[in-house]
Amino acid sequence: MNIVVCVKYVPDAQSERTFNESDNTTDRVGVDGLLSELDEYAVEEALKIVEAGEGEVTVLTVGPDQAADAVKKALQMGADKGVHVNDEAIHGSDSVATSLVLAEAIKKIGDADLVLTGMASTDGTMSVVPAMLAERLGLPQVTFASELTVDGQQVTIRRDGDAASETIVASLPALVSVTDQINEPRYPSFKGIMAAKKKPVETWGLADLGVDASQVGLDAAWTKVESFTKRPPRQQGQIVTDEGDGGTKLAEFLSAQKFI
């Protein structure tokens, strides 16, 4: 079983996130980053599948130099090898271009039985890259798995939807995105951290993938940010301490605001 896990390097959600004034792209340089927490679930699930059977886990990321940290973390958790697509021209790419680069990299890695992703990135939260990847690779798309089993030539997932809990079956190779309900990602062990240092990481540019620079980056985007405005921070309103009348005061507020 060859598994490719797509991971993203994202700004730390705890830090202040901003835009670049010059080109209206997300500022990924000025802030601390890390492996998107939501992708850790995909890495963990890949490791569990391989540990229960056999196979190899390749982590794939597209991003600037610092994104190597995301690959490193996944290798420390136990992935076998890494691929980092890094090219100046990629800066400012939207999900359409990112999915193109990922798809070409997955083809170049070759022989993937399963492509795993997180449910969303913790910064963009568009949740569209997995569907775009499936479309580009012509793979069955099974997203938002909160349980996953692979047997023989098929994958079965459970998806916890609003109206129903669904079981979805697809043949391999397939693309699966997993939720944060699926497992409890491991912390890298000391042994894992040491072992990661010797694991192979390949760095590819666009030329290695046969992708033309004109197909990616800000200028190739099919949408354009016209402007952005920082919302004024919410002003703290009235805070009362309950002295036996907190509920009454709350109801008075709601009534003054015409909610009741």
Partner 1 sequence: MAEVLVLVDHANGTVRKTTAELLTIARRLGEPSAVFVGDGFDAAKETLAKYGAEKVYRVESADVTDYLVAPQAEVLAQLVEKTSPAAVLIPSNSAGKEVAARLAIKTESGLVTDAVDVQPKDGGGVLTTQSVFAGSYSVSATVTKGTPIVTVKPNSAAPEEAAGAAADEVVEVAVSDAAKTARITESKPKEATGRPELTEAAIVVSGGRGTGGDFSKVEDFADSLGAAVGASRAAVDAGWYPHTSQVGQTGKQVSPQLYVACGISGAIQHRAGMQTSKTIVAINKDEEAPIFELVDFGVVGDLFSVLPQATDAVKAARG
Which of partner 1, ligand FAD, none binds 153 (CB below 5-8 Å, type-dependent)? Answer: none
Residue 17 amino acid letter: R
Least distance (Å) between residue 20 CB and partner 1: 13
Element of type H or E holding 108: helix 95-109
Residue with smaller CB distance to ligand FAD, 10 or 220: 10
Burial class (CB in 10 A: 0-12, 13-18, 19+), 9: buried
Looking at beta carbons only, is 119 or 216 nearer to partner 1? 119
What residues between 37 and 56 interact with ligand FAD by CB under 6 A? Answer: 37-38
Would you say 170 or 195 has its CB closer to partner 1?
A: 170
Number of neighbouring beta carbons within 10 Å of residue 240: 11
When the beta carbons of 56 and 180 are compared against ligand FAD, the nearer one is 180
> Shortest gap between Cβ of 1 and ligand FAD (angstroms)?
26
Q: By CB neighbour count within 10 A (0-12 exposed, 13-18 middle, 19+ buried), where does 163 fall? A: exposed
Complex with partner 1: residue 40 or 80, whichever CB lies closer: 40
Contact between residue 44 and residue 50 where contact means Cβ atoms under 8 Å apart: no
Closest approach of ligand FAD to the CB of residue 35, in Å: 11
Point out the residue whose Cβ comes nearest to ligand FAD. Answer: 37
Residue number, 37 or 147, with CB nearest to ligand FAD: 37
Query: How many residues does this entry show for the chain?
Result: 260
Q: Is 196 exposed, middle or buried (0-12, 13-18, 19+ CB in 10 A)?
A: buried
Nearer to ligand FAD, 50 or 59 (CB): 59
List all residues 6 or more positions away from 76 whose beta carbon is below 8 Å from its beta carbon.
Answer: 188, 192, 193, 195, 196
Least spacing, CB of residue 11 vs partner 1, in Å? 9
Distances (CA, A) of 61 to 58, 64, 117, 191, 195: 10, 9, 11, 23, 20
Q: Which does 193 bind (CB under 5 to 8 A by kind): partner 1, ligand FAD, none?
A: none
Residue 55 interacting entry, from ligand FAD, partner 1, none, C-beta within 5 to 8 Å by type: none
Binding mask 142-181 for ligand FAD (x = CB under 6 A): --------------------------------------x-
C-beta separation of 62 from 100 below 8 A: no
Residues 70-129 touching ligand FAD, rule: CB under 6 A, are: none
84 in Cβ contact with 203 (< 8 Å): yes
> Considering the complex, what minimum distance in angstroms separates the CB of residue 133 from partner 1?
9
Q: 253 vs 93, 181, 244, 246, 257, CA distance in Å?
A: 46, 37, 16, 11, 6
Examine residue 208 and tell whether it contacts ligand FAD (CB under 6 A).
Answer: no
Q: Which residues in this chain contact ligand FAD in the complex, by CB under 6 A?
A: 37-38, 180
